[in-house]
C-alpha cells in the first residue's frame, strides 16, 4: 500500500473510533417491529407507525406512556410492550422508528 | 344563654364568611376550568395545524435528501501470465446523489435520484465506451448530473388483492445483499447477484403477504439497450436521426438492435429474521456474434438468469447482543445463454448454449468498537461461463460479483466521529480472475483461461441526510 493509502487508512481508523454518542436506531426499530410484532399485530410497520402523529408519539414517550399507546395501536402486542425487555432493549429503537414513520412524518415508502 | 347566643352569632358569621369564600373559590375554579378547557382546545387546534403543516411540508411537496460520498481507491492489477501490472495509488472520486420523494396523495408516490459521480480532475464530459446508460451514474466519470432513478408507484387493491404499478428508471442497482458492501441500509429492487444495472422499465407488483409472511412478486418489463439509428435522409453529417433503423429493428446490417428484458424478482418469505428472495430474468436478443461476417454486438439469442438468496438477520433468539446483530447470507445463481442458428454466444457452437453458476456468501458482525459499526466479510466464486448483468456494480476494479474465479472482500462500515450522518467505509476487495472477466456487455467474447488478480482498497466518507 502506498504512503497515501496508509495515511488515509490510519486517519479514518482513528476518527472512526471517536464514537462516543449513543443513539437509537430507526432502522433497527423497523427490523425489530418486523421480527417481533408484524405477525402479532397483523399490520405493516408503516401502518402501525402511522396510527399517531409525531407529536403524539413524542408526548407518549415523554410522559412514559409509550407502551400504553403502542398497546392501544396493537392490543395483541400487550405482553411484549409490558415486558421488561421492551423497556430495557427495544423501546428507544421502536420509538425512533414510529416517530420516523408517523402519520405526519412525510416519509415515503420505497418501491 | 348570652354565651350561647354569642357563640351562635359568631358561628353564623364564620359560616357566612366561609360560604362566601366557597362561592368565590368555586367561581374561580370554574373560571380556571373554562380557561383550561379553552387552552386544551387551542392546544388541540395547534397540534392539528402543526401536523397539517408537517404533512404539507413533506407530503405535498418534493422531499429532498443528500448522499455525498468522497472516496479514494488504491488499485492494483496483475496479469500473472504476462507478468505485467497496472496500478493507481489514488483514484479520487466524489459521488453526489440528490434524492427526491413525493407523495401527493395516498397510494401514489414518486422517487427520484439525480447523480454526479466524478473523478477528481475529470473531463467535463466523458464519452468512454464503457460509460453506457446502464452504468452512467454508478461508475466514476465526469461532472455531469444524470438521472439515476426516476419512477412513480401507484398502489391500490383489486378485489382485496394489493397491486402496485410503476414506470420509470428503476432502483435497479445495489439490490438484495449488495447493500451491505455499499454501506446502505436499504437494498435496491433486484437481486444484485444477477442484476446490477441502471435500466428503465414498467413494473407490476402483487403482494402475497396475506398468505405467506412478506411474500410478493414483481413483474418488470424493460429495455437495457437501444439499437443504433440510421440516417434515412441522405444527410451525411448524420445530424438528423429518425430514431429508427432501416429495415426495422431486426436483421439490419448493423445488427445492433434494442435489447429488452423481462424480470421477475420477489420475496418468497420474510419474517424479519429469515428472508428468502428469488429472481428470474429473461433477456431478449442478447448481444453475441453473427458467424456470417463475424459481426459482433449482433442480436444473437436469449439469456436466462436465476438467483435465490437467503439472508438471516440475527442468529438465534436473543442469545446475545452480538448474535442478534449478526447477519449471514448465502446466494446461488445460474446463467444460461442460448444462441440462435447462425450466431454464437460466449464462444458457443453455432446455435449452441453456455451455462455458468456462482455462489456468494457473507457475514456482517458488530465491530465491537463503535456503536453502529459493522465488519463484513464476503466470498464469491463463479464458473467459466458465469455471466450476470452486473456492469453498474460500484467496484473500481470491475464487478466482483461477476468474477469467473474467486473474490474475497472485507469491509468496515462505521459512522465517522460517531455521527450517523457521516457513514464511512474502509473496504478491501481481492479478485482472482481464472477466466476472461465479464466487465461489459460482450457476449461475443469467449472466456479463456487467464490468471489476473485485481485489488482495490477503498476509503470512503459520506455525508448522508
Tens of pLDDT along B191-246? 999 999 999 999 999 999 889 988 999 999 999 888 766 666 655 555 566 677 66
C-alpha grid cell for residue A46?
Answer: 408503516
Q: 3-class SS at B166?
A: strand
Answer whether A21 sits within 8 Å of B418, measured CB to CB.
yes
Write the DSSP assignment of B239-273 as a string of letters: ----S--TT-SSS-SS----EEEEEEEEEEEESSS
* Residue in A15, A34, A110 closest to B272 by CB: A34
Which residue in the block uniquely carries the three cell numbers 395501536? A73
Question: Exposed/middle/buried for B430, CB within 10 Å: 0-12, 13-18, 19+?
Answer: middle
> What does the alpha-carbon distance between residue B168 and residue B111 come to, in Å, rounded to a whole number?
10
For residues B215 and B206, what is the distance between their CA atoms, to the nearest angstrom? 9
DSSP state of B238: -
Cβ-based contacts of A60 with chain B (< 8 Å) = none
Choose, out of B46, B51, B323, the residue to mutate when testing the contact with A (most A CBs < 10 Å): B51
| Strand-pair category, B295-313 with B327-339 | antiparallel
Distance of CA B225 to the CA centre of its chain: 20
β-pairing, B353-366 vs B374-382, is antiparallel
Q: Provide the grid cell at B459.
A: 476509503
Lowest mean pLDDT among B84-88, B155-159, B457-461: B155-159
Q: Which of B51, B272, B419 sits opposite A38 (nearest CB)?
A: B272
**Do B313 and A31 lie within an 8 Å CB cutoff?**
yes
Type and span of the H or E element at A49: helix A45-49
pLDDT band at B142 (very low <50, low <70, confident <90, very high): very high
Q: Does A10 touch chain B (CB under 8 A)?
A: no
B85 to chain A nearest CA, in Å? 15
A15 and chain B in contact, CB less than 8 A:
yes
pLDDT tens by residue, A79-99: 899 888 888 888 999 999 999
What integer pLDDT is reported at residue B42 of this predicted model?
A: 85
Please write the tens of the pLDDT for every residue from B44-54.
888 777 777 77
pLDDT digit string, tens, across residues B389-445 = 999 999 999 999 999 999 999 999 999 999 989 999 999 999 999 999 998 888 889
Q: Please, where are the H alpha helices in B60-149?
A: none
- The answer to whether B371 contacts A19, with C-beta atoms less than 8 Å apart, is yes
Phi, psi for residue B320 in degrees, rounded to 5? -160, 160
CA–CA distance, B222 with B231 (Å, rounded to integer): 26
Q: Are B175 and B192 in contact (CB under 8 A)?
A: yes
Q: Which residues pair with B281 in a beta bridge?
A: B263, B305
Q: Are A27 and B185 an interchain contact pair (Cβ–Cβ within 8 Å)?
A: yes
B195 CB burial (10 A radius; 0-12, 13-18, 19+): buried
Beta carbons within 10 angstroms of residue B349's beta carbon: 10
Considering CB atoms only, which of A9, A25, A39 is closest to B271? A39
Residues of B with Cβ-Cβ distance to A109 under 8 angstroms: 109
Alpha-carbon span A57 to A100, nearest angstrom: 10
Q: Coil, strand or helix: which one is B78?
A: strand
Using CB atoms, which residue from B51, B185, B417 is nearest to A53?
B51
Of B166, B176, B174, B263, the residue nearest B224 (C-alpha): B263
Q: What is the mean pLDDT of chain A?
A: 80
Element (H, E) at B18: helix B2-59
**Residues B279-309: tens digit of each pLDDT:** 999 999 899 999 988 888 888 999 999 999 9
Chain B residues whose CB is inside 8 A of the A2 CB are: 74, 89-90
CA of B370 vs chain A CAs: smallest distance (Å): 6
Least trusted range by pLDDT, from A50-54, B122-126, B158-162? B122-126
* Pairwise CB contact (< 8 Å): A108 & B103: yes
A53 chain-B contacts, CB cut-off 8 A: 47, 51, 54
Q: Give pLDDT, residue A19.
A: 44
Average pLDDT over residues B317-345: 93
Residues of A with Cβ-Cβ distance to B52 under 8 angstroms: 104
pLDDT tens per residue across span B363-396: 999 999 888 899 999 999 999 999 999 999 999 9
Q: Spell out which residues of chain A touch residue B153, defining contact as CB-CB under 8 Å.
A: 111
Q: What's the average model confidence in pLDDT over B11-39?
A: 79
pLDDT for the residue B237 = 57
Alpha helices in B211-344 (DSSP H): 321-324
pLDDT of residue B235: 52
Residue B396 CA: distances (Å) to CA of A8, A28, B77, B406: 18, 30, 11, 17
Check residue B127 and give its pLDDT: 79
Cα gap A38→B214, rounded to integer Å: 10
Q: Please indicate whether residue B454 or residue A44 has the higher confidence score (pLDDT).
A: B454
Looking at residue B247, its pLDDT comes to 57
Residue B233 DSSP label: S
Say what the ipTM of the complex is. 0.74
Nearest by CB to B415, from A19, A34, A105: name it: A19
Distances (CA, A) of B135 to B223, B237, B333: 14, 29, 22
* Residues 6+ away with beta carbon under 8 Å from B335: B194, B303, B304, B305, B306, B355, B356, B357, B385, B386, B387, B388
Does A53 lie at the interface with B, CB-CB under 8 angstroms? yes
> Residue B102: closest CA among chain A residues belongs to which residue?
A108
Tell me the C-alpha to C-alpha distance, in Å, between residue B363 and each of B121, B175, B194, B366, B456: 37, 17, 20, 10, 20
For residue A21, the model assigns a pLDDT of 41
Question: Which residue in A has a C-alpha nearest to residue B373's C-alpha?
Answer: A16
Between the two ends of chain A, the Cα-to-Cα distance in Å is 41
What share of chain B has pLDDT > 70, as a percent?
88
- Report the pLDDT averaged over residues B325-352: 96
Amino acid at each position: 500500500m502506498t504512503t497515501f493509502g496508509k495515511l488515509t487508512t490510519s486517519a479514518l481508523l482513528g476518527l472512526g473510533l471517536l464514537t462516543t454518542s449513543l443513539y437509537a436506531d430507526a432502522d433497527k426499530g423497523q427490523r425489530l417491529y418486523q421480527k417481533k410484532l408484524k405477525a402479532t399485530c397483523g399490520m405493516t410497520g408503516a401502518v402501525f407507525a402511522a396510527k399517531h402523529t409525531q407529536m403524539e408519539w413524542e408526548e407518549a414517550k415523554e410522559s412514559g406512556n409509550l407502551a400504553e399507546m403502542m398497546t392501544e395501536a396493537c392490543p395483541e402486542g400487550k405482553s411484549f410492550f409490558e415486558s421488561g425487555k421492551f423497556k430495557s432493549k427495544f423501546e428507544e429503537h421502536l420509538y425512533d422508528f414510529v416517530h420516523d414513520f408517523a402519520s405526519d412524518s412525510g416519509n415515503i415508502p420505497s418501491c | 344563654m348570652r354565651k350561647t347566643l354569642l357563640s351562635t352569632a359568631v358561628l353564623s358569621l364564620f359560616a357566612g364568611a366561609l360560604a362566601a369564600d366557597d362561592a368565590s373559590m368555586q367561581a374561580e375554579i370554574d373560571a380556571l376550568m373554562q380557561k383550561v378547557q379553552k387552552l386544551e382546545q387551542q392546544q388541540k387546534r395547534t397540534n392539528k395545524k402543526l401536523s397539517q403543516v408537517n404533512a404539507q411540508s413533506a407530503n405535498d411537496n418534493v422531499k429532498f435528501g443528500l448522499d455525498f460520498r468522497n472516496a479514494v481507491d488504491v488499485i492494483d492489477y496483475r496479469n500473472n501470465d504476462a507478468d505485467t501490472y497496472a496500478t493507481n495509488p489514488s483514484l479520487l472520486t466524489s459521488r453526489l446523489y440528490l434524492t427526491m420523494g413525493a407523495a401527493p396523495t395516498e397510494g401514489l408516490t414518486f422517487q427520484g435520484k439525480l447523480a454526479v459521480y466524478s473523478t477528481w480532475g475529470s473531463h467535463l464530459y466523458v464519452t468512454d465506451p464503457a460509460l453506457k446508460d446502464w452504468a452512467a451514474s454508478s461508475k466514476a466519470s465526469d461532472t455531469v448530473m444524470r438521472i439515476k432513478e426516476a419512477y412513480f408507484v401507484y398502489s391500490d387493491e383489486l378485489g382485496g388483492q394489493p397491486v402496485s404499478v410503476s414506470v420509470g428508471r428503476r432502483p435497479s442497482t445495489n439490490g438484495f445483499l449488495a447493500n451491505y458492501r455499499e454501506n446502505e441500509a436499504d437494498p435496491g429492487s433486484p437481486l444484485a447477484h444477477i442484476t446490477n444495472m441502471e435500466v428503465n422499465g414498467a413494473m407490476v407488483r402483487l403482494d402475497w403477504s396475506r398468505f405467506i409472511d412478506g411474500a410478493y412478486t414483481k413483474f418488470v418489463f424493460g429495455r437495457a439497450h437501444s439499437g443504433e439509428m440510421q440516417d434515412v435522409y441522405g444527410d451525411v453529417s448524420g445530424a438528423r436521426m429518425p430514431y429508427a433503423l432501416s429495415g426495422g429493428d431486426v436483421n439490419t446490417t448493423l445488427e445492433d438492435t434494442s435489447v429488452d428484458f423481462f424480470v421477475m424478482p420477489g420475496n418468497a418469505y420474510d419474517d424479519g429474521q429469515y428472508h428468502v428472495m428469488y429472481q428470474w430474468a429473461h433477456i431478449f436478443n442478447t448481444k453475441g456474434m453473427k458467424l456470417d461476417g463475424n459481426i459482433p454486438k449482433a442480436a444473437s439469442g436469449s439469456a436466462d438468469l436465476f438467483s435465490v438468496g437467503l439472508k438471516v438477520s440475527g442468529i438465534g433468539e436473543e442469545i446475545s447482543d452480538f448474535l442478534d446483530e449478526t447477519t449471514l447470507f448465502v446466494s446461488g445463481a445460474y446463467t444460461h445463454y442460448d444462441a440462435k442458428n447462425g450466431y454464437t454466444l460466449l464462444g458457443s457452437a453455432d446455435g449452441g448454449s453456455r451455462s455458468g453458476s456462482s455462489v456468494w456468501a457473507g457475514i456482517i458482525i458488530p465491530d465491537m468498537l463503535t456503536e453502529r459499526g459493522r465488519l463484513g466479510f464476503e466470498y464469491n466464486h463463479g464458473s467459466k461461463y458465469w455471466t450476470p448483468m452486473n456492469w453498474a456494480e460500484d467496484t473500481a476494479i470491475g464487478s466482483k460479483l461477476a468474477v469467473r474465479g474467486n473474490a474475497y472482500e472485507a469491509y468496515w462500515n462505521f459512522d465517522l466521529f460517531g455521527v450517523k450522518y457521516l457513514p464511512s467505509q474502509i473496504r478491501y476487495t481481492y479478485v482472482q480472475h481464472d477466466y476472461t472477466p465479464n466487465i461489459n456487455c460482450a457476449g461475443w467474447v469467449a472466456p479463456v483461461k487467464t490468471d489476473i488478480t485485481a485489488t482495490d482498497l477503498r476509503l470512503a466518507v459520506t455525508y448522508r441526510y
